[in-house]
Structure 1
Amino acid sequence: MASLQFHGGIDANIGYAGRDKDVGRVSQLFGLHLKLQMLSGLLPIPQLSQSLPQWLQLVLKQLARLHSLLVIVIPLHLGLLFSKTTLDALPTGDLEDITDALTMTVIYFFTAYACIYWCVRCRRLLSYLNYINREYRHHSLAGVSFVNCYTTYRWANNFTAIWVGACLTGVTFWGITPLVLGRHALPLHCWYPFDALANPIYPFVYAIQLYGQIIVGTSFSYGGYMFVTLSLLLLAQFDVLYCSLKNLDAHARLLSGESLQTLGALQCELLLDDANCELGQYAMLEEHATDLQCYTFKRLRPSPSLKSAAHSGLVECVRLHRFILKFAAELEQLFSPYCLCKSLQITVQLCLLVFVGVSGSREVVRVINQLQYLGLTLFELLMFTYCGEQLRRHSVRVGDAFFRGSWWLHAPQMRKDVLIFLANSRRAVEVTAGKFYVMDVNRLRSVITQAFSFLTLLQKLDAKKAATES
């Protein structure tokens, strides 16, 4: 947790303004995410309360491992069945059947990969989340203005709930289509070595396929909402750093016992001057004015000197920047392999979904199912690339934030430290796909271009086949 110096030498949970603008620190940033991860079967090592009996903890851990194994086996075996279906469709030359089966093959094999990947890396991910939860800064450095991270926490939770609901709705609608239409059929048309529609075994096969669709929805959503949540929190920490740097001189004046009148004038300057308030200086958070009367009354005595307070504030900003860089480096390490496979999967899936939608049958339910998958795939690609672009652009604005405050007037001995700090902060934070591509807007454009190039090729093959048959 941040040192007390970061909060002006007082309780880290202090409020800088009214409760409507300054909500208290959240004890667990990832409570909703961990619950969803456990329900999805992607947490084979659950974090259990030590108050539970030993035998119950052992039983729950074994059940969690069995659940994770089931979540891996079901999409893996469905991927193998669709591979056989694709191979059987190849001799017929029917591109609609081939691409339909190949689409589901890609979806289920990637689902199996995602489940295995997150189960294998769950211990490292849990350690990472605990580190963030312990070390993140809820407020900016004590000054005449502040930003509060609670807004980002609320946005991340709201987005997670909406995205999980959208993914589950899309895949579940596909799974219950035969029930809605009253047909004796399976939601997924794949090869089986037996008659899957026979009455004794049909309900069992249907239940497996329906659960497989639910696993697709949960694993599809998990990587997306975790990446977006971590990206939003990282952007918020950059905002905290930038507001702290802007308030560095004000922080020193506040702690050194400057008069309330002088602080009020400085507050108006930092909050109202156009040079200090340009559009887009913060990516996620909103800057508020500190309640100076309340805060100056509560701060500790004796007051440090102006120079020592400014230097201590810079040291805390350096520590925060170090935390941010470690946060970003681990984000890259965790998501780089996942983003590589996700990027390739989205490219192939976009091409196949559009081809099936354009060249396939025009049944209403089928069209709705295809549009749901297409919409979710496009939106997920946009999520990854937009967040990557925001991180890359926003991470190099340290210099802009630094020169909004007049720190150089009272701390000439800090110039060397400042130059080193600024030099180290010019390197942009980037999330890559396997170190090959940067996940940004350029990657969005290239994926869509590649997908529609493959689509054009498939359409030409389909037209050539139709011309040959006629």
Structure 2
Amino acid sequence: MNATVEKFDWKLTIRANIIKLKLVGLWPSGDDTYRPNWYTLWAAISIGLFIYAHNFFQVVNIVFIFDDLQAITATIFVTLSELLTILKTYCMIQNMGILKRLMVSLNGDIFQPKNDRQKRLVQPSLTFWKVNYVLFYVMSSGAIFFWAAYPILDNSVKEHRLPFLAWYPYDTKISPFYEITYVYQIFSISFIAVTTLSIDTLIGALNMYIGAQYDILCDDLKHLFDAEDSSMDFYRKLVNCVKHHRAILRFAEDSNSFFNWIVFLQFFISTTSIGITMFQLTVVVPFSSEFFSLLSFGLAITVEIFIYCWFGNEVEVKSNNVAYAVFQSDWTNAPIELKKLLIFFTMRTQTPLKMSALNLFYLSVDTFVRILRTSWSYFALLHQVNSKK
């Protein structure tokens, strides 16, 4: 790598994401994993109190209202998404060593842009991830705001109605238990939202980084024979490209092993949640606070799935460009031995890399469209059943 080129900090793009993960107890400082210290204690208390306990109270309530289909429908789409946060936090804690290694390797020399041209080349991917990051947070913040406010805006606070239906081992209609529980629910859902959004956008960032590395690799291959006098320089650059390609594959394999189960269950839960949310929008009072909370939640879930599928799709598209990048270089004047190596390398890179969920569902735009179609089918079924009543 050219020594005159300032080192590119890949983690700078996701700095805000890492800060949020630190706040919720899911990112130990430095390159370490969890150790017996105060931070680990904070992680156990915060995750246990605001994620596990909040989910427990809601699940117990579902057991009590299991015979009430309308009440179940009104709560299950949110509860399922909240329950998935338990799996996400478990996968984060379980794979923290892998994630920290990924961050270290990301800023290693082999993943560094070689020049300003390559820095400009990867910038659109970084910017697009930031746009989706902000959009995801805006939609989720809107849902939380309306969930927190609609008992007040609908004057149901006088009836001591809570933002979320849940069971508690005390009477929540008595002051100050009502106020304390109200604040606890809002703080818990905010904590869950920050946790979920940070993990989801981190997964999107990992896929975005893989795609950006393929951009750099393709650029190196296109300029393989530029401004070099010695054939040995060609061999050295090709060897570096091979090492870079292998490093990308290792990075992708570790990333996929981290989010396999998360994406697999997220696809199923999001499909159901989007369908039920669309149905709920047809039965609540239009343009009420509850209506806007449902609309924001539905849009947030859609953006969440889009982040998974779009950046996963980018990995497949950009990895497919490697073989073509070789032939876009000035290879015709290369030594015959080097041409043979180029052909061998091209054959090894003809199969595009696909990010998947347990090798059952690929992260692609096609999968995103199928999820939306399935959600619409669920909505149509629920709407048809409800119209016959």
Please say whether Structure 1 and Structure 2 have the same fold, judged by a TM-score greater than 0.5. Answer: yes
Deviations 1:240-291 (A, max 9, x none): 111111111105x2xx3xxxxxxxxxxxxxxxxxxxxxxxxxxxxxxxxxxx
Identity %: 17
CA distance in 2, matches of 1:134, 1:78: 45
Q: Rate the CA distance shift 1:382–1:190 in 2: closer, same or farther, 3 A.
A: same
Deviations 1:154-211 (A, max 9, x none): 6545654553354234323312333456634311133445421210211221122112
Is the Cα contact below 8 Å between 1:386 and 1:440 reproduced in 2? yes
CA distance in 2, matches of 1:25, 1:79: 45
Partner of 1:76: 55
CA distance in 1, matches of 2:151, 2:109: 50
Deviations 1:425-469 (A, max 9, x none): 1121111122211121221222122222222222232233x2xxx
Give the partner amino acid of 1:37: L
Partner of 2:281: 357
Is the Cα contact below 8 Å between 1:172 and 1:214 reproduced in 2? no
Partner of 2:215: 239
- Which of 261, 267, 287 in structure 2 is aligned with 1:337? 261
Q: Rate the CA distance shift 1:447–1:331 in 2: closer, same or farther, 3 A.
A: same
Give the partner amino acid of 2:52: V
If you compute each CA radius of gyration, which structure gives the higher value, 1 or 2? 1
**How do 1:233-382 residues align onto structure 2 when only pairs under 5 Å count?**
233-251=209-227, 253=228, 256=229, 306-362=230-286, 364-382=288-306
How far apart are residue 78 of structure 1 and its match? 3.7
Q: Does 1:47 align with 2:29?
A: yes
Q: Rate the CA distance shift 1:176–1:116 in 2: closer, same or farther, 3 A.
A: farther
Q: Rate the CA distance shift 1:164–1:40 in 2: closer, same or farther, 3 A.
A: farther
Deviations 1:302-341 (A, max 9, x none): xxxx110111111111111111111121222112211101
Bigger mean CA offset, 404-413 vs 57-66: 57-66
How far apart are residue 239 of structure 1 and its match? 1.0
Q: Rate the CA distance shift 1:392–1:225 in 2: closer, same or farther, 3 A.
A: same
Is the Cα contact below 8 Å between 2:281 and 2:294 reproduced in 1? yes
* Paired residue total: 381
Is the Cα contact below 8 Å between 2:326 and 2:342 reproduced in 1? no
Please state which structure has a larger fraction of its residues in helix.
2
Is the Cα contact below 8 Å between 2:57 and 2:167 reproduced in 1? no
Q: Does 1:462 align with 2:379?
A: no
CA distance in 2, matches of 1:315, 1:459: 60
Is the Cα contact below 8 Å between 1:78 and 1:108 reproduced in 2? no
Partner of 2:318: 394
Partner of 1:407: 331
Q: Rate the CA distance shift 1:453–1:146 in 2: closer, same or farther, 3 A.
A: same
Bigger mean CA offset, 240-249 vs 181-190: 181-190
Q: Rate the CA distance shift 1:372–1:148 in 2: closer, same or farther, 3 A.
A: same
- Which of 120, 129, 151 in structure 2 is aligned with 1:178? 151
Q: Rate the CA distance shift 1:379–1:119 in 2: closer, same or farther, 3 A.
A: same
TM-score normalised by the chain length of structure 2: 0.88
Q: Rate the CA distance shift 1:199–1:209 in 2: closer, same or farther, 3 A.
A: same
Is the Cα contact below 8 Å between 2:98 and 2:254 reproduced in 1? no
CA distance in 2, matches of 1:190, 1:447: 29
CA distance in 2, matches of 1:227, 1:235: 13
How far apart are residue 24 of structure 1 and its match? 4.6
Partner of 1:271: none
How far apart are residue 27 of structure 1 and its match? 7.4
How far apart are residue 357 of structure 1 and its match? 0.8
CA distance in 2, matches of 1:362, 1:162: 24
CA distance in 2, matches of 1:112, 1:157: 25
Partner of 1:26: 9
How far apart are residue 121 of structure 1 and its match? 2.3
How far apart are residue 234 of structure 1 and its match? 1.4
Deviations 1:39-74 (A, max 9, x none): 13323xx12599xxxxxx933442233223334323
CA distance in 1, matches of 2:30, 2:208: 27
Partner of 1:105: 79
| 1:250 partner SS | coil
Q: Does 1:204 align with 2:159?
A: no
Q: Rate the CA distance shift 1:375–1:191 in 2: closer, same or farther, 3 A.
A: same
Give the partner amino acid of 2:91: Y
How far apart are residue 88 of structure 1 and its match? 4.5
Q: Rate the CA distance shift 1:49–1:312 in 2: closer, same or farther, 3 A.
A: closer
Bigger mean CA offset, 190-199 vs 422-431: 190-199
Is the Cα contact below 8 Å between 2:277 and 2:298 reproduced in 1? yes
Deviations 1:397-446 (A, max 9, x none): 11221112213403322122212211111121111122211121221222
Is the Cα contact below 8 Å between 1:384 and 1:439 reproduced in 2? yes
| 2:387 partner SS | helix
